[in-house]
Amino acid sequence: MNTSKEGIEMLKRFEGIGGKPVLKAYWDYKGYSIGYGHLGAQKGQTITAEEAERLLVADVKAAEREVNGMQVELEQCQFDALVSLVYNIGSGQFRSSTVRRLVRESREAREALEKAWFMWVKVRDPKSHTLKTSVALSARRAQEWDMYKGQK
């Protein structure tokens, strides 16, 4: 499967600013990002909007490979929501997640899946090094979950 246009637009809203790419590198929680949340930028780096689009396409393809690799039948809305989650938390985190396990094991585990989905709302506070709930991630997970359920 491939991410729908609606799924791409959702990612742009989450990863950019007002749906537009960030053209100068910024510090993300574990390194510099640029464009639509592309990790691996260098401090002070700048790119064009066209380069941001190319990076987005490559990053989405990587997330799609991860979701397609589960080899489960998904509706388009479920696929798009999972790609957004993988894009945000990374393939490594997703591979070991309860979300992945529940999607692969049972279509009837919706309540457990919802709980697992909303576990991914924490960020590490740089000063105290403790995990804290992020309002932005909570809102993102809610939109992804609505999409997963087919409630755009």
Q: What pLDDT was estimated at residue 152?
A: 62
Ordered DSSP codes for 92-105: HHHHT-HHHHHHHH
Q: What are the structural domains, with CATH classification, of the chain?
A: 5-148 (1.10.530.40)
Task: Choose the catalytic residue: 6, 9, 15, 75.
Answer: 15
Active site residue 15: yes
Write the CB contacts of 95 (distance below 8 Å, at least 6 apart in sequence).
66
| Cβ atoms < 10 Å from Cβ of 26 | 13
Q: What pLDDT was estimated at residue 118?
A: 94
By CB atoms closer than 10 A (0-12, 13-18, 19+), residue 59 is buried
Q: What pLDDT was estimated at residue 124?
A: 86
Per-residue pLDDT of the chain (152 residues; tens, 9 = 90+): 999 999 999 999 999 998 999 999 999 877 899 999 999 999 999 999 999 999 999 999 999 999 999 999 999 999 999 999 999 999 999 999 999 999 988 766 778 899 999 999 999 888 888 999 999 999 999 999 999 998 76
Q: Which residue has 């957004």 as its token pair?
A: 84
